[in-house]
Chains A and B, each alone.
Chain A
Amino acid sequence: MTASSSPEYLTVVPEIAGVGPVSAWGLLRLRQQLERGLPLTPRPYQALAELTGLSEQEVMAAIRQWQDQGLIKRFGLVVRHRTLGYTANAMVVWDIPDNQVLNLGRTLARAPFVTLCYQRPRRLPDWPYNLFCMIHGVDRQRVLSQLATLIADQGLEQTPHAVLFSTKAYRQRGGRYVSHD
């Protein structure tokens, strides 16, 4: 379960290379700006500094700290796979005995084409599945053959599962928690 606590981005950035306490509002604004991505100018952190009232050093220190804390889980290029031609997306759901689900989840997560792997609760009788994997592929056939490989490799032939291909994306965007809905 996700515990909602006091927002961590309001914590003060500690002393890092001459950076002292930082304005909480500046950090909040920084987070809002960062959700739009890094500006494409030669000194992007300086550009963010001007937008947030922080200094360039403070911006960089805050980003490094958020990376260390895991608040930023990945600081890299965010690719739209659909544009590249990865048009098939399957949510594969499994009904795994409770005493095996943790280990199997860890195993499936390591498959190179599995992008997400989550445990969620069953909702009987309508929903018996407790493990969810997302597989992205260039086309449906390729996704199904990757899945067949996975099933054979892991001996999952007898494991109840369902493949839910997506047929339409009505909305697809990163969550925005600090902007107002």
Chain B
Amino acid sequence: MRLDTTDRQLINLFQRELPVCERPYEAMSRQLGIAEEDVIERLQLLQDSQVLSRVGPVFEHSRAGTSLLAAVAAPDEQLDIVAARVNRAPGVNHNYAREHTYNLWFVMTAPDEDTLEERLDELEHQLRLPMLRLPMVEAHHIDLGFDIDWEALP
């Protein structure tokens, strides 16, 4: 999908903060110098074309549950099968293949620490693969949106 200048401005201006008022899209439209329905239509299009996953918000989940980054080293020919098993486990919300001996990395979430531990133990038992468990010790920077380098895009 080709984004025009207004689409890019919309993304640049509102990645970090949306207005909280009765007519937020109208407030946004005034900043962009376009009509309210135009903002709504563009957001709908951007969402339909998967440029936006949603119009906010991003919750700080660590305050409402707990999560942990885990990794396993799967035999290469079984990677897809192992990944599918990981996806079936409750609480998995990110799951990526990466270039390393530990070639499958996923984030496991749960409402509390005990449940998290149980879920990981259960999955480890199912997979029969040793699992790296890497809880967060300190977060220095948590996805606050970043400035898109429009010029560099294909």
Chain B at the A interface: SS class: mixed
In the bound complex, residues from chain B placing their C-beta under 8 Å from that of A181 are 90-91
* Interchain CA distance A70-B153 in the complex, whole Å: 32
State which size class the interface on A falls in. Answer: 35 or more
In the bound complex, do residue B140 and residue A106 qualify as a contact, i.e. CB atoms below 8 Å apart? yes
B34 CB to closest chain A CB (Å) equals 14
Chain B residue contacts of A165, Cβ below 8 A: 98-99
Instruction: Among B93, B139, B145, point to the contact of A74 (Cβ < 8 A).
Output: B145
Contact: B148 with A105, CB < 8 Å?
no
B residues contacting the other copy or chain, number (CB 8 A): 87
Q: In the complex, are the beta carbons of A164 and B98 less than 8 A apart?
A: yes
In chain B, residues 100-145, which have Cβ atoms closer than 8 Å to a Cβ of chain A?
A: 100, 102, 105-107, 109, 111-113, 132-145
- Are B138 and A174 within 8 A (Cβ)? no
Contact B52 A74 (CB under 8 A): no
Q: Which of B53-100 contact A (CB under 8 A)?
A: 53-67, 69, 83-84, 86-87, 90-100
Q: Which residues of B contact A118 (CB under 8 A)?
A: 136-140
Contact check, B57 vs A63: say whether CB atoms are below 8 A apart: yes
Instruction: Using CB atoms and an 8 Å cutoff, list the residues of chain B in contact with chain A.
Output: 1, 3, 10-11, 14-18, 20-26, 36-37, 40, 43-44, 46-47, 49-67, 69, 83-84, 86-87, 90-100, 102, 105-107, 109, 111-113, 132-149, 152-154
| 23 A-B pairs with C-beta separation under 8 A | A2-B67, A38-B24, A42-B26, A44-B25, A72-B59, A72-B60, A73-B59, A75-B18, A75-B20, A77-B18, A77-B52, A77-B56, A78-B56, A108-B140, A109-B140, A121-B137, A127-B102, A142-B152, A170-B83, A170-B95, A171-B87, A177-B59, A177-B61
* Partner-B contacts on A (CB < 8 A): 1-2, 4-5, 7-9, 31, 34-38, 40-46, 56, 60, 63-64, 66-67, 69-81, 83-86, 89, 91, 102, 105-106, 108-110, 112-121, 123, 126-127, 130, 132, 136, 138, 142, 162, 164-178, 181
